[in-house]
Amino acid sequence: MRPAATLPRVPGPRRTTPGHRGDLVVLAVEAVLLVAAVAVGLVLNRRGAGLHADAAPLYATWRPHVGWGTPLAVLVAVVVLGPGLRWAQTARWAALLAAGWLAAVAWTLSLALVDGWSAGLTRRLTPQAEYLHEVPGVADIPRMLAGFTDRILDFQPDSWSTHTAGHPPGALLVFVWLDRIGLGGGTAAALCCVLVGATAAVSVPVTLRALGAADAARAVLPFLVLLPGAVWLGASGDAVFTGVVAAGLALLAVRGTVAALAGGLLLGFALHLSYGFVLVGALALAVLALRRDRRRAALLAATAGVAAVTALFALAGFRWWEGYDRVVERYYQGWAAERPYAYWVWANLAALLLSAGPVLGPALRRTALAASRVVGPALRRTALAAGPALRRGALAELPTRRAAGQRADGPVAGATGSGGDGRGWVRVLGPTVLLPAAAALAVAAADLSGMSKAEVERIWLPFVVWLLVAAAHLPPPARRWWLAAQALTALAVNHLLFTVS
């Protein structure tokens, strides 16, 4: 097995310089988008336009501050940027994953502690709108599940609080179960969010390695550790959601149908953590298509797992589709009715940039270039070989015998192995192209739906960690600089704003 390659190396300064110049152009576009979102947000807030976000495009308030987490966060960033980045390329795999998780926990906790232990962790999940507000009232879990849908709509005596009403009951169940095992209260809940959310820094590289992109896994891991979105992982329920989704997808990638079944069970539970995770289906299909063997068996096992969880919830009295109908109505009973779609449909992308970091645009640009350098020459050769029939438009007969890992004008990004197994374009493009593409498709669908007006800096975190797989296409000499920009983004957001979970 050959590890997956990233963007091909092109000798000579004439080709290298334009590549970096293109990255800087994309970075400038990102800066313009962010400045525009902040400026327009300020104007709309002064006019009382109903953004309900004081620091739009983020759901936060302007509050420059420092805390005793500040030096800790700087220390973690320096260690990762220095010896950590070098060590990630040579370390033993198990040791790298363990260190990656610990570093992600340290980064998330240090950012949270910039706000202080109480405001940053203990009281983070205890406001009236949060899940913990409802935990004491859940004395009977089966009864809660059976009557959950009836309490979604607002303006009833027993209406659920905002976050509980806006999600399926799985989200509330997580914190009820913690309380049942003696880990009740804000501190335990916040630490659970941090510990589970940090596992994304393990699950994503595990997925890439299982799909044959071992080098890409090592390249991406530091970007998952110094994730700017860690500002919201510590602490919010979305951290748990991020960890569960990433683990479920990782299980789909590793060998064996039992693992695929376990992945399906996790993703089925994820579907009952957030209605928006129906969009995770795009990522799940991409992972299954990229598996090296037993794809059909894995698909059936994963589907069975999702169906089993859905059936269990339905038997308990909660039907996902009915809950979704009610939550759409509840959504427009609140601030969503006032938040202008015309602003948030593009300002959400500025919030995404602050969560994913400035590396997002350049990384996606290089991913698109890597795909075009493979697909373009392959299409031209296929057209010449297929003759008149293809030129008449018989694209459906496009051969799939191009081998993954063969050269077009360089190695295929994220592809491994040899050809002849009929996997076609999925095998050629590989995980470092298809996984960010699937995540981008999910984000675009969520954005256009009108059901994600504001607060996407935390809501889209389960997709952000997969978008950052595109960072594998960055040239190695530039990665340290982009990683430093990621850390500076997180530090700036956390010290200039007081974010809300």
pLDDT, tens digit, for every residue of 476-498? 999 999 999 999 999 999 999 99
Compute the distance between CA of residue 362 and CA of residue 19 in angstroms, rounded to an integer: 10
Residue 341, amino acid: Y
Orientation of helix 214-225 relative to helix 200-210, angle to 10°: 170
Residue 43 in this model has a pLDDT that exceeds 50? yes
Do the Cβ atoms of 74 and 491 come closer than 8 Å? yes
Contact partners, residue 313, CB within 8 Å, separation at least 6: 145, 168, 169, 170, 272, 319, 320
For residue 201, with 0-12 CB atoms within 10 Å meaning exposed, 13-18 middle and 19 or more buried, which class applies?
buried
Residue 292 in this model has a pLDDT that exceeds 90? no
C-alpha distances out from residue 140 to 96, 163, 176, 181, 401, Å = 43, 20, 10, 15, 58
Q: How confident is the model at residue 9 (pLDDT cuts 50, 70, 90)?
A: very low
Average of per-residue pLDDT across 22-31: 96
**Cα 271 versus chain centre, distance:** 15
Compute the distance between CA of residue 29 and CA of residue 31 in angstroms, rounded to an integer: 5
Structure tokens at 467: 């978008």
Say whether 99 sits in a helix, a strand or coil: helix
Residue 281 in this model has a pLDDT that exceeds 60? yes
Do the Cβ atoms of 206 and 253 come closer than 8 Å? yes
Compute the distance between CA of residue 202 and CA of residue 94 in angstroms, rounded to an integer: 10
Global pTM reads 0.89
Residue 36 in this model has a pLDDT that exceeds 50? yes
pLDDT of residue 398: 41
